[in-house]
Structures are given as C-alpha cells and as structure tokens.
Structure 1
Amino acid sequence: MPLKGQKIGFLGGGAMGEALLTGLVRTGLAPSALYVSDISAPRLDYLKQKLGVNITTDNVAMVQEVDIVILAVKPHLAADVLKNVAAAVRPGQTFISIAAGITTGLIESYLEGRIPVVRVMPNTPCLVGEGASAVSAGKYAAEDNVAMALAVFGAAGKAVEVPETLLDCVTGLSGSGPAYMYMILEGFIDGAVHLGLPRQVARELMAQTMLGAARMVLDSDEHLGKLRDQVTTPGGTTIAGLFAMEEGALRSVLMKTVAAAAQRSRELSG
C-alpha cells in the first residue's frame, strides 16, 4: 500500500480535509498517522473528537512532522501558507495541493529544492466518499508520489491520473459536474411532479436511478450506447423520451457546458 508507514498532514481542516481524513481512517489508516493544522481551535477539537487525529495550530511544526503534506486551504490563502511553511518542506516529502487554479509550477516556485508536487482536482462528492478526483504530477514528482496521491483521494471515491494541461477540462467535467447533475436531476423531478407524482417520491426514484445508472457504467466495460439500448424497446416509452432529448439538442448542450466551464477555468488560472 503506497501509504503504509506514511504520516499525512493537512494544511487546513475544512470540509474537504475532513472528507479525506474520514476516508483514510475508513480504509484502515491509523489516526495516529494523521495530522491536521488549522487556525480554528473549535474545528480542530471537532476533528480530534470525531476521528482521533493529531491536531495543531502550528503549520510549520506539522509540516516538519509528516511525510505527505496536503495543501487544503482556499486558493486565496495558498500563497501565504506556502511562504510560511516553505523552509520546513524537505525533498523526501510529497506535497499535494487541492487549491483550485494553483499550478504545480507556482507551488514549486515557493518551495526550496526539488520538492515533489502533485496537484489534485477533487469534487464535492468526496464528502460522502464518492468523489471523482484527477491527479497531476509536477516537475519533480515521480510515480511513487503520484501513487500516494491516488491512494489518498481513492479513499474518498475514485482517482485517476491526467496531465496537468488537462486539469481545466477536468474542472469543467467532474469538478463542476455535481452542479450539472443536480440541475438535470431537478428537471426530471419537476417533470414527474408536473404529471402528478409527489416531489419526495420523484426525488427518491430519480436520485436512485442516477446512482444505479452510474454504478452500471462503472461496473461494466459496455459501451454507453449498448447500456442505453438495453433499456430502449422499439416503439416504446424510452425511445419517446430519448427523441424529446434529441429534439432539444441535449447532447450538444452538455458538450458546450463542459467546454464553457473549462474555458472559464483557464481564464481564472491565467
């Protein structure tokens, strides 16, 4: 296991940090190997009580103690935190960042020496252990550094490696993706309510349908068209609904959605 014997420290104990810590504990990592630093004492006390992890308000002391450092602060705070801990980071460590829009090159410029940096784009379903995260290696990151990042974020869902040049696309797809799913889900629910189905019943049925369909995709190597055909009887109800989708150019709208969000990610990163 890539994380065996590693001490992992989080710079920031917010919602995403909590999600990852929870996932790591769930996978069997000892709480004594997990550290979190935050400016909020009540937040730290909460994490200590919930998970049993080591807590501190001293970023530098924590960085000196651990093998893997995870930068989990808001992007606008990243520069100050990096300047504060830079001298404490050592070459044998793996430095992982989830600060949106902050490139590995920029992070490397704050750190001294050839520090392995890995950048990750997670999404909010990490909070319920069903996240989708993309991992990108910096200039000095080797396979084992990437493997550690994949293991950390795999504890809160699924994680894959992509070149950093594609992280804007990932942001437009899975990073922003939960919001797209909520809007699509809401549209289907409203359609059912319009036809007389109670909202809570429609919500439960459609949310489970989306979850089940996603599970079938993840558990199968079948082409999506074949999975769709398994539901589509000639002249039946499903093809009538699919025809309405095609009339509304849904496929084109979804493709443009990803492109628009990716372009905005590039603008914000620049």
Structure 2
Amino acid sequence: MVGTTTSSLGEVTLCFYGAGSIAEAILRGLVEAKLKDPKHITVVNRQNAERLLQLEQQYGVVPATTDELKNSALSNADIVILGMKPKDSANAIKALKPLLRPEQLIISVIAGLSISTIHQLLDRRQPVVRTMPNTSSTIGLGATGISYSESVTSEQRELALVMFNAVGLTAVVDEPLIEAVNGVSGSGPAYVYYLMEAMIDAGVQLGLTPEAAKDLTVQTVRGAAEMVFSTGENPGDLRRKVTSPNGTTQAAIETLDQFAFQEGMNKAIVRCAERAREMGEAIRAEAIN
C-alpha cells in the first residue's frame, strides 16, 4: 500500500534519538507542514550538543543537552525515533530499556536493524515501526518503506504514516522487503547522482562548460522523473518512444548495453540489500553478546 495522506499529530510528543540528516528531514517536514508544534519535538544525541542547538535555532525544537533532559525526553515521549548510526545502535537501545514505557512507540530509521533485534535488545515486544527513508525526504520528496510489529496499534500506524507522508511518499511492506526498499529507494538517490556525475563529465569532455553541463543534466533528470510521475507510463515505454531506429538515442543505449548497464544496476541494488542484511546480522550478533 502506498500512501500520501496526512492528518494532525495533535498533542503527541516526539523524541528523536540521533540528530543526523534523516532525523532533520523528518522533523523539518513536520514543522514546515505545520503538522507538529516544534515545542512537542525533542532532539537527543550522544554527545554533540552544538548540533542540537543548531536544530533548535532552525526549527524551534527542544534540545536535550544534559543526561537529565535526555532521560526525561526519552521516558516521556509518545514516540521515540531511533536515528543513531547502525554501529552505535545496539548499545544505545540496550540503554533505553529502563527508560521506556511498554506502550511507547519506537520508530527506527536504522538500516538493517530488524524489529526482532530491537525486541531482543529491549527484552520485550515493544511496539516498533521499522522504516527505510531516503535523503530526498529533506526536500519533501522522500520515499519511505514502512513495516510494523504485531503490537503496533491502528492509531500508532496512522501516526507513523502521517510522519513520513510529511516528507514524501510511503509504501507499507512486509518487513523482509525493507531490505529491497533499501536497495531501490533508500540508497537510490546515490545511483542517480552517480549517473548525473557521468553525464556532466561527458558533457564537459564534449566541450560544454561545467555549469552548462550541470544545468542541462539536472533539468534532464528532473524532467524525466516528472514525465514518469505525471503520465503514469512505464519508464521502458517512455524510453522506447524517444529511441528512434538507428538514431542517436539508440546508439547511446546500445553502448550502455555493451557495458551491461542494466545488469550492473540490478547487481548494485541486490548488493545494497545484501549489505543491509549483513549490517543487521552484525547488530543482532552484538545484541546476543
């Protein structure tokens, strides 16, 4: 199920544990869409108080800059959003166990971290929403995969959807498919940037200025994505429409085929999903120890 609906988060209090780019993208979306009073959003991290104060200045959210404020925010929030680095997540979640109430909703944006591992680290079946957003959430054009633990209530499901619909599109999937979401859209912006780098470099080699090559590339990628979005047509059909027999586009596509472009992209996405699983296994191993 893909969703784009939004509704008010009301008086629900949020605590972001981890203050990186994805956390900022989500809280920015909530604040700028006026779905949430920033005074009901607290930001927490392990040690960088300066980053918390920066978010306070930009968005009006509440920084928890001391251990006392941090513990209070985590204990009292209705929703705790986990956004720390995967390598830090096991110890951080273990430390949460005495602070959390059993009914508190946990939302994870941590790559590879499964719901069962979170339950194992907390030693109880806390309501957990596992998500995989991407960095385009920063400008409200994100794509987020979402799955739920069994104890998540219908109201909590709706709250999670509201949060991520505020920064783009959401797709509810079975948890084993979250790694596929990671491969396709979680890391997807990087693939497009990589393609754009190549297009710009080639334009410069052919004599364009770097500025012209960049502007033309950006508009081309933007226009192509909008064509798929606005027409609803399959990308393959759109490609075939602009590929005249023996024309310039066909020559380019045939060259890409010689370098196994599609095969390479498929393998890259599969490898990304595999790496997410590997990271999850490493976190699970740490949870056991």
TM-score computed with the length of structure 1 as normaliser: 0.90
Which residue is equivalent to 1:120? 131
Output the CA distance in 2 between the equivalents of 1:181 and 1:27: 27
Which residue is equivalent to 1:245? 256
Task: For 1:97-112, list aligned pairs within 5 A.
Answer: 97-111=108-122
Task: For 1:4-43, list aligned pairs within 5 A.
Answer: 4-28=10-34, 29-38=36-45, 39-43=47-51
Partner amino acid for 2:91? D
Identity score, percent: 38
Output the CA distance in 2 between the equivalents of 1:80 and 1:175: 24
Is residue 113–residue 279 contact of structure 2 (8 Å, CA) maintained in 1? no
Partner amino acid for 2:38? P
Deviation, structure 1 residue 8 = 1.3
Task: For 1:174-213, list aligned pairs within 5 A.
Answer: 174-213=185-224
Structure 2 segments unaligned to the other structure (5+ residues): 1-6, 282-289
Which residue is equivalent to 1:232? 243
Which residue is equivalent to 2:100? 89
Deviation, structure 1 residue 112 = 5.8
Output the CA distance in 2 between the equivalents of 1:266 and 1:54: 34
Output the CA distance in 2 between the equivalents of 1:81 and 1:150: 25
Structural RMSD (CA): 2.1
Per mean C-alpha deviation after superposition, the further-off stretch among 139-148 and 77-86 is 139-148
Matching residue within 71, 76, 87 for 2:82: 71
Q: Which has the higher contact order (CA 8 A, sep 6+)?
A: 2
Is residue 105–residue 139 contact of structure 1 (8 Å, CA) maintained in 2? no
Is residue 79–residue 105 contact of structure 2 (8 Å, CA) maintained in 1? yes
Output the CA distance in 1 between the equivalents of 2:154 and 2:230: 26
SS across alignment from 1:88? coil
The one-character-per-residue Cα deviations of 1:82-101 (angstroms, maximum 9, x if unpaired) are: 22222332233211011222
SS across alignment from 1:148? helix
Partner amino acid for 1:67? D
SS across alignment from 1:90? coil
Output the CA distance in 1 between the equivalents of 2:29 and 2:229: 20
Which residue is equivalent to 2:52? 44
Deviation, structure 1 residue 214 = 1.4
The one-character-per-residue Cα deviations of 1:94-114 (angstroms, maximum 9, x if unpaired) are: 110112222111112233654
TM-score computed with the length of structure 2 as normaliser: 0.85
The one-character-per-residue Cα deviations of 1:138-157 (angstroms, maximum 9, x if unpaired) are: 23224433332222222222
Is residue 106–residue 129 contact of structure 2 (8 Å, CA) maintained in 1? yes
Deviation, structure 1 residue 37 = 1.6
Change in CA separation of 1:165 and 1:5 when aligned onto 2, cut-off 3 Å: same
Which residue is equivalent to 1:53? 61
Change in CA separation of 1:99 and 1:225 when aligned onto 2, cut-off 3 Å: closer
Change in CA separation of 1:221 and 1:94 when aligned onto 2, cut-off 3 Å: same
User: Are residue 145 (structure 1) and residue 156 (structure 2) matched?
Assistant: yes
Is residue 150–residue 160 contact of structure 1 (8 Å, CA) maintained in 2? no
The count of corresponding residues between Structure 1 and Structure 2 is 270
Output the CA distance in 2 between the equivalents of 1:132 and 1:141: 22
